[in-house]
Amino acid sequence: MINNFSLSASNLPYFIAKLNDLDLSQGYVANVKLRQSTRTGDQNSLYWKFVEGFGNHFGYDKDFTHDLLRFKFLFEVITIDGEQHKRLLSTTKLTTKEMTDYIENCMRYGAENGYLFETA
């Protein structure tokens, strides 16, 4: 069975062969979505410069600051034993648009708390 598969022109024949091998009497569901680019190296560098500066401004190390920002802006709510909890998400999985929005939220939060980040 194929679970997750990134389709490209070069592996299309392999994918078709795998589909042909399926026992169609079982019934399957396929979901196809357009791949979106994940955050760029420049976005990641900008984010960590902000994290370091924001943390230094308040006396926090970068790991604590990173978690603080994710706790504020980058989480999903899960329910465990009937109680809701925040599960922090990773920036590595964000699309370029999502990373842009996240960085803007972090910078706005920094400004609201007295830290103005110089991007240049």
**What is the per-residue pLDDT for 118?**
85
Sign of the alpha-carbon dihedral angle for 11, 12, 18, 21: negative
Residue 76 lies in a domain: yes
CA distance 91 to 104: 14
The tens digit of pLDDT for each residue in 73-95 reads 999 999 999 999 999 999 998 99
Q: Is the pLDDT of residue 1 over 60?
A: no
Tens of pLDDT, residues 29-67 = 877 777 777 889 999 999 999 999 999 999 999 999 999
Is residue 67 assigned to a domain? yes
Q: What Cα–Cα distance (Å) separates residue 52 from each residue in 17, 22, 98?
A: 49, 51, 21
87 belongs to a structural domain: yes
C-alpha 52: how far from chain center: 20
pTM of the complete model: 0.70
Residue 94 lies in a domain: yes
Measured over the CA atoms of residue 20, residue 16, residue 34 and residue 90, the dihedral's sign is positive
Phi, psi (degrees; rounded to nearest 5) at 19 = -65, -40
State which residues form the domain around 68. 41-112
**Domain count of the chain?**
1
Whether residue 102 is contained in a domain is answered as: yes
20 or 8, greater pLDDT: 20
Given a contact cutoff of 8 angstroms between Cβ atoms, the answer to whether 78 and 63 are in contact is no
